[in-house]
Structure 1
């Protein structure tokens, strides 16, 4: 294992590129592995070599990875300038904005459909999902569909204008909490202590909304890789990406332990017979999102 993050572009040659279209919205998805499905959602500004490295760790742990291309250049190491441009485009894109009050953004609806399709293809008790940074709270929103059993929320940075905001409507949070309690599920969440994009106030807001089912891990800033790629060094400019750009791939490092906890979390929820646990037989065509919208 190397202590330094990958610095060259990643061709993603060991992933199968597939196109998924739901409700008229089509996206490229990189698929690899065998076993229950885990949706790996990229952080800003795209599927970097560090995001792909994490996806391979998930694959090698016994899962089928579905890694959608949501923004940016797939496999690239973006410059600071390119990363900023990608971020600005995503912020104003209709795909990531709700069309009406209380309705999820089209990209989130698409991700829920992807989870259902992945579950149908891979079987097992359900689907895991991890969101990072811009997509951090997407994994939580995916809990409003039955297949998603193992959500991981890494350094959720939205909404940026509200450091204490969750990015989800109260009715959605209420429906998610009810499901967590009913099916004995948890949400695993991670951030660095001094992250200026994912604040302690945001984690506290999640804790208030979800109670003890929100399991938070806060890493010291000293655990972050001090030499991340240019976008993270010059634009993000604080410890932020727990399992990608700021991970130190050395034995004994807190970020590597965080990665291992995530993999163990997926294994606990997904690598078991489909008939023995919570959510295993929940039909994918009965979304909890409908209950949330009815509140």
Structure 2
């Protein structure tokens, strides 16, 4: 039996005509879980199922890789080739928001319009970690979770500190956080891929950034290198912000 058999596959079309596949499951407030490299792995799906079981409607966009393929050197390489040859993703540029953010904001607006409530949650991880910040520019997002954000690739001090946001979107995130839309961040303290982005977030958002750091050199806090505390903090955060 496929791990996604219990999920409903659909297509979301943004206002600009861009169409991408999604998988949906659950009831309750909406949460968009944006998968990491190499894609919708079993570990990502298992985490999403936990969010569903906690009482949320979860939508899984599918951006790259093959659904349900496990994370290994081969699938990671294949996904990297996809993202590195696509203009939808930023890899090295600083001060730029990935074009894919517009589609995610459209998805968030549609989900919020359907489900109501204070807004939806957005969670990005690894390569897509910063996407949660880009999505919260839209007021339909009431809770953003940034799990081990790793783009732009942390080569040099400037890239290591960059949030994968344009100056205008950075200002919007700061304003939204100041208005009460907190950001939860998760990372391993010695994870070099995340650079110094947590320092940047603390400087910009102050107490409205809740940074949770774990000892060690792990990376995927919610999936391959899962920390139960990380999962619990995410579920508690969504419970407070979306069900309140």
Could you say whether these structures have the same fold, taking a TM-score greater than 0.5 normalized by the shorter chain as the test? Answer: yes
* Number of equivalences: 238
> Are 2:87 and 1:70 aligned?
no
Greater relative contact order structure (CA < 8 Å, 6+ sep)? 1
Gap regions ≥5 residues in structure 2 = none
Counterpart pick for 2:13 among 8, 21, 39: 21
Q: What corresponds to 2:201 in structure 1? A: 206
Equivalent residue runs for 1:102-117 within 5 Å: 104-117=97-110
* Residue in structure 2 matched with residue 239 of structure 1 by the alignment: 218
Any idea what SS the aligned residue of 2:160 has? coil
* Off by >2 Å, runs of 4+ in structure 1: 101-106
State the alpha-carbon separation in 2 of the partners of residues 257 and 202 from structure 1.
Answer: 21
1:165 aligns with 2:157: no
Once the two structures are superposed, the pairs formed by residues 165-204 of structure 1 within 5 Å of their partners are: 165-182=162-179, 184-199=180-195, 201-204=196-199
Asked whether the equivalents of residues 90 and 98 of structure 2 are also in contact (C-alpha less than 8 Å), the reply is yes
Q: The residue matched to 1:197 in structure 2 has which SS?
A: helix
User: Is the CA contact (8 Å cut-off) linking 1:96 and 1:108 kept in structure 2?
Assistant: no
Q: Deviations over 1:76-95 (max 9, x none)?
A: 11431231121132023012
Question: TM-score, normalised on structure 2?
Answer: 0.92
Whole-angstrom distance in 2 between the partners of 1:107 and 1:43:
14
Note closer, same or farther for the CA distance 1:202–1:103 as it changes in structure 2 (3 Å cut). Answer: closer
Mark the runs of 5 or more structure 1 residues left unpaired by the alignment.
1-8, 222-237, 248-254, 273-295
Q: How do 1:1-295 residues align onto structure 2 when only pairs under 5 Å count? A: 10-22=2-14, 23-97=16-90, 104-160=97-153, 161=155, 162-182=159-179, 184-199=180-195, 201-221=196-216, 238-247=217-226, 255-272=227-244
The CA deviation string for residues 131-167 of structure 1, in whole angstroms up to 9 with x for no partner, is 0001101001111101101000000001103222221
Q: What TM-score results when the alignment is normalised by the length of structure 1?
A: 0.76
